[in-house]
């Protein structure tokens, strides 16, 4: 019997058990199954849903329908019924297309013979159902703790945002905020090259998130506001996103410069809305980029609406808490020298993101070339000649090396290709930063940033590339 049959039987059995056992809720279903059964118009069971679950539009209604279509979506198997049609305990209704068991007890016995406790721990519904059965060591509470919570699912996040921004006038505010579900973040902390200080600070905040009930009990509430400082391209955004991925937390990202948008008269209101979104999505990470914008606005003669927005921002930071609101606040700045005392004192931890040293650059190169074919590759030799480059810069070097090789119809690179790409990058970087004279200024500006980097000399627009390596 194929692994596909096991997957389909597990799906059908999970749906049947969940339908019958009203003590189970959405957090017991594996995320892949929740996505299939989520209804934008449905309501979570009143007996199981929390108050915040019910505040979001949508839910999962019983009974769960298991058809060829839902099984295909949940398991990724093209022909689910074909996989299990030869089993003596399965049947399909030709009229409705539903797949079910003629003998559920036989189906349960069949499945238990083919899966182990570790697999049961990935499915709280079945872990609870089989807990205590002969030969089964899976623990329901452990499985539930491992399972990603419903609040981290894209469908739940979208339902809440649709509910909260039902007013058409308020939909504009979503242009200022980007919300990512953990499943949409493609990097983990294990992929990052971090300094020992960075690792220590991240470990501390992870422990604080894990034990926030204890911290509340002992009255330690002023915790959970981090400021990431360092040049562009050193991994500030990537680290924050990876933390969200590893901890199954929604990631709410705001760029402060966006409050200078066409919604100028609504800036203070939009700042309030941003923090309200984070609180409603909690537990989550609220990431505020370009934090130096705060100090620049406070010192300047900017529009009064901007100054009101910044003051609202500072008050909102004061009034949000990891312990009380389940929101981890992370600010980031490329220009810590521009921050004033009012900005600094809002954060309880400062995490420095320096440019990578030679060893770190070697590690970064190992990762970003892992899918490439490079003859006689010596990452440390390249690291030695890339002093001052960030992880983002190294990616750009590799990009140029690959493109140059493709012009010669080659997909295998050489060490010489990389060294030439480093030279080319340095030449472009020097040209980009040179003083413009006479008529050259307009020509270079019209062509844009020829290195492809952001205007501040860092990572490509929209990216804060990480220092990464695989352990």
**Which distant-in-sequence residues (6+ apart) come within 8 Å of 448 by Cβ?**
none
pLDDT in tens, 118-132: 999 999 999 999 998
Among candidate residues 316, 331, 318, the one with its CA nearest the CA of residue 285: 331
* Range of lowest pLDDT (30-39, 262-271, 431-440): 431-440
pLDDT, average across residues 442-447: 32
* pTM listed for this prediction: 0.77
- For the cut 60, the answer to whether the pLDDT of residue 454 exceeds it is no
| Cα–Cα distance for residue pair 424/166, rounded to 1 Å | 51
Could you tell me how far CA 38 lies from the centroid of its own chain?
21
Query: Which residues in 15-27 are b (16+ Cβ under 10 Å) and which e?
Result: bbbbeeeeebbbb
Lookup: tokens for 262: 């066409």
pLDDT in tens, 278-298: 998 899 999 999 887 776 666
- For the cut 80, the answer to whether the pLDDT of residue 42 exceeds it is no
Q: What is the pLDDT of residue 341?
A: 83
- For the cut 60, the answer to whether the pLDDT of residue 61 exceeds it is yes
CATH classification (class only), 358-447: mainly alpha
More confident residue, 468 or 142: 142
**Which distant-in-sequence residues (6+ apart) come within 8 Å of 428 by Cβ?**
450, 451
What average pLDDT is seen over the chain? 83
Q: How are beta strands 251-255 and 177-180 bridged, if at all?
A: antiparallel
For the ranges 54-58, 75-79, 287-291, 365-369, the maximum mean pLDDT occurs at 75-79
Confidence of residue 451 (pLDDT cuts 50, 70, 90): very low
Lookup: tokens for 454: 């952001």
pLDDT in tens, 62-96: 999 999 999 999 999 999 999 999 999 999 998 88
- For the cut 60, the answer to whether the pLDDT of residue 1 exceeds it is no
Strand partners, 300: none
CA-atom Rg of the chain in angstroms: 26
Q: How are beta strands 327-333 and 225-229 bridged, if at all?
A: parallel
| Cα–Cα distance for residue pair 448/434, rounded to 1 Å | 14
pLDDT in tens, 149-205: 998 999 899 888 877 776 655 666 666 788 999 989 998 888 888 999 999 999 999
| Cα–Cα distance for residue pair 54/149, rounded to 1 Å | 15
Q: Could you state, in order of their start, the residue ranges of all structural domains in the chain?
A: 3-151, 167-352, 358-447
Residue with tokens 């030439």: 420
Q: Give 414-426 as a DSSP string.
A: EHHHHHHHHHHHH
Q: What is the pLDDT of residue 168?
A: 55
Domains 167-352 and 358-447 share a fold: no
- For the cut 90, the answer to whether the pLDDT of residue 448 exceeds it is no
- For the cut 70, the answer to whether the pLDDT of residue 263 exceeds it is no
Q: What is the pLDDT of residue 19?
A: 97
- For the cut 60, the answer to whether the pLDDT of residue 53 exceeds it is no
Please state the CATH superfamily assignment of the domain spanning residues 167-352 in this structure.
P-loop containing nucleotide triphosphate hydrolases (3.40.50.300)
pLDDT, average across residues 217-243: 91
Q: Give 331-377 as a DSSP string.
A: EEES-GGG--HHHHTT-SEEEE-PPP-HHHHHHHHHHHTTTSEEET-
pLDDT, average across residues 351-376: 92
Confidence of residue 46 (pLDDT cuts 50, 70, 90): very low
* Range of lowest pLDDT (104-113, 194-203, 308-317, 350-359): 308-317
């Amino acid at each position: 019997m194929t692994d596909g049959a096991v997957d389909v039987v597990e799906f059908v059995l999970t749906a049947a058990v969940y339908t019958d056992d009203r003590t189970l809720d959405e957090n017991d279903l594996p995320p892949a199954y929740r996505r299939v059964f989520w209804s934008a118009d449905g309501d979570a069971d009143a007996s199981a849903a929390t108050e915040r679950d019910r505040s979001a539009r949508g839910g999962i209604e019983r009974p769960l329908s298991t058809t060829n279509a839902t099984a295909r979506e949940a398991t990724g198997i093209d022909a689910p019924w074909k996989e299990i049609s030869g089993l003596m305990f399965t049947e399909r209704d030709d009229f409705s297309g539903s797949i079910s068991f003629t003998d559920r007890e036989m189906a349960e016995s069949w499945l238990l013979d083919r899966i182990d406790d570790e697999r049961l721990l990935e499915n709280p519904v079945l872990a609870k159902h089989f807990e205590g059965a002969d030969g089964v060591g899976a623990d329901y509470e452990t499985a539930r703790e491992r399972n990603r919570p419903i609040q981290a699912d894209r469908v739940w996040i979208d339902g809440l945002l649709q509910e909260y921004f039902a007013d058409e006038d308020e939909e504009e505010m979503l242009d200022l905020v980007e919300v990512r579900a953990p499943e949409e973040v493609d990097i983990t902390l294990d992929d990052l090259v971090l300094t020992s200080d960075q690792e220590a600070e991240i470990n501390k905040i992870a422990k604080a998130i894990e034990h926030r009930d204890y911290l509340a009990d002992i009255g330690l509430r002023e915790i959970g506001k981090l400021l990431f400082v360092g040049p562009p391209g050193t991994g500030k955004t990537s680290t924050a996103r990876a933390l969200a991925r590893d901890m199954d937390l929604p990631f709410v990202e705001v760029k402060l410069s966006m409050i200078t948008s066409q919604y100028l008269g609504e800036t203070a209101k939009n700042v309030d809305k941003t923090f309200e979104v984070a609180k409603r999505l909690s537990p989550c990470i609220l990431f505020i980029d370009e934090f130096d914008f705060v100090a620049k606005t406070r010192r300047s003669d900017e529009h009064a609406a901007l100054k009101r927005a910044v003051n609202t921002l500072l008050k909102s930071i004061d009034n949000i808490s990891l312990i009380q609101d389940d929101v981890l606040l992370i600010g980031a700045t490329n220009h810590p020298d521009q921050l004033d005392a009012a900005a600094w004192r809002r954060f309880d931890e400062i995490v420095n993101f320096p440019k990578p040293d030679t060893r770190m650059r070697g590690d970064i190169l190992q990762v970003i070339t892992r899918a490439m074919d490079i003859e006689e590759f010596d990452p440390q030799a390249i690291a030695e000649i890339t002093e001052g480059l960030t992880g983002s810069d190294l990616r750009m070097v590799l990009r140029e090396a690959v493109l140059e090789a493709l012009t010669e119809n080659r997909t295998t690179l050489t060490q010489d290709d990389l060294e030439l790409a480093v030279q080319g990058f340095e030449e472009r970087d020097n040209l980009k930063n040179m003083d413009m004279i006479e008529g050259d200024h307009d020509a270079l500006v019209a062509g844009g940033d020829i290195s492809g980097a952001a205007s501040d000399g860092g990572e490509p627009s929209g990216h804060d590339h990480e220092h990464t390596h695989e352990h």
